[in-house]
Amino acid sequence: MTHWILYGMPGSLYTAKARSYLRKQGLPLEERAPGDRRFTTEIVPVTGRWIIPVLQTPSGEIVQDGTDIIDHVEQTGLATRSAYPTEPVAKVVSLIFELFGGEGLLRPAMHYRWNFDGDNLPFLERDFVNALFPGADAETRAGVFARSSGLMRKAAAGFGVTPDSFAQVEASYLDLLDRLDAHFAVYPYLLGDSPTIGDYGLIAPLHAHLSRDPHPSMLMKQRALHVWRWVERMTTRDDDAPEFLAQSPPVGTALSSPTLAALLAFVAEDYLPEVDAMVGWLNAWLPEQPADRLAGPMDRSVGRMTFPWRGLDLTVMVMPYRIWLLQRVQDAADGLAPTEQQALEALLAPAGLSGLLTARVARRVVRRDQREWWAA
């Protein structure tokens, strides 16, 4: 085999992250749906569970997880556009948006997908079933969609999307859209002229759910044209940025731009309270666990916590995968030279985001055998 195979779905959040990165590398790529029988026979026995995205490399290796897929390709030396900025402070900032994009925007993604049935449901039904069970008869289709949508609606509640929070989820998302729109009016990508790991984190919710499902797609196109254009740009091999030819973006200035500062401030306001609460919850929970509970591969969620968010008490799942992404931010920040640390702090402190570097769980999360584990 000479090409790369991505198992994923058009409507899958985490597939969008891997697909966007792989397309930008220009590697020969074939996407297969999980309804393909080879997913069941070749992939699930290796991942040990039904989960996408999964990359099968030309040499037959199987890699699950959006970040691991990106890092695997980076390590082959075949990446033509690295996801990681060479400038160390930019790299930390980019990793912050990887965490926030992939994990902090589940609420708007799930809300705008699952709470606008009149606009979304006929599209979702066909889109899901075509990937999960191509060629199914009408009765089977209905059953497949009822099962998968039921699971996803339950997951939405687990991320804190309930009727009590709908208004805040919408207000928060509209604020973010406006800030992103202002940024992408000036810069083709988050940090300037090339997509980085932060763009790949953000594209996860902003592609599959928020730009593609009928209801939020209309909202994005009407309210935030530049975000929509960035989404289009993130799904192509080339830069698809003709509007910037005339405008000549001030490459290299994105990091210190007021529009990026506004986005960092949004992360602080919207997501830092959840990170703080999650770290505090885990630090209280870890010493209470018997050693064997901490020795095996982890479940996606290890419990539920309640934390204050936009005037509400929100109850959400505690997901150690998020700690693994947070560690990536903190490890990169720890590796900075003193002057670079000062430069980073000069970006984070005014945004109220310095706490992201100090919120640390007593035990590290590692990824091994396609899963998260507590480090020994």
Ligand X SMILES: N[C@@H](CCC(=O)N[C@@H](CS)C(=O)NCC(=O)O)C(=O)O
Rounded to a whole number of angstroms, the CA Rg of the chain reads 20
Q: Which is nearer to ligand X, 52 or 255 (CB)?
A: 52
Tokens of 239: 């830069």
Q: Which is nearer to ligand X, 13 or 357 (CB)?
A: 13
Which parts of this chain interact with ligand X (CB under 6 A)?
A: 12-14, 50-53, 65-66, 321
Which token pair is 80?
Answer: 């033509």
Shortest spacing between CB 89 and ligand X, in angstroms = 25
Nearer to ligand X, 192 or 205 (CB): 205
Alpha-carbon distance values, 131 to 57, 63, 86 (Å): 21, 20, 38
Contact 329, 356 (CB under 8 A): yes
Please report how close the Cβ of residue 12 comes to ligand X at its closest, in angstroms. 4
Q: Which is nearer to ligand X, 21 or 184 (CB)?
A: 21
Coil, strand or helix: which one is 43? helix
CA 354/CA 275 separation, integer angstroms: 12
* Min CB(33)–ligand X separation in Å: 12
CB of 69 to ligand X, least distance (A): 8
| Tokens at 192, concatenated | 């300037």
Q: How far apart are alpha carbons 314 and 167 in whole angstroms?
A: 13
Q: Which is nearer to ligand X, 12 or 211 (CB)?
A: 12
Cβ 29 to ligand X, closest distance in Å? 17
Supply 222's token pair.
Answer: 């009407």
Residue number, 14 or 187, with CB nearest to ligand X: 14
CB of 70 to ligand X, least distance (A): 10
Cβ pair 120, 213 in contact under 8 A: yes
Closer CB to ligand X, 14 or 307, in the complex: 14
Please answer whether residues 125 and 141 qualify as being in contact, where contact means their C-beta atoms are separated by less than 8 angstroms.
yes
Pairing between β-strand 29-32 and β-strand 4-7 as defined by DSSP bridges: parallel
Structure tokens at 356: 């992201």
At closest approach, how far in Å is the CB of 289 from ligand X?
22
Q: Within 10 Å of residue 331's Cβ, how many Cβ atoms?
A: 12
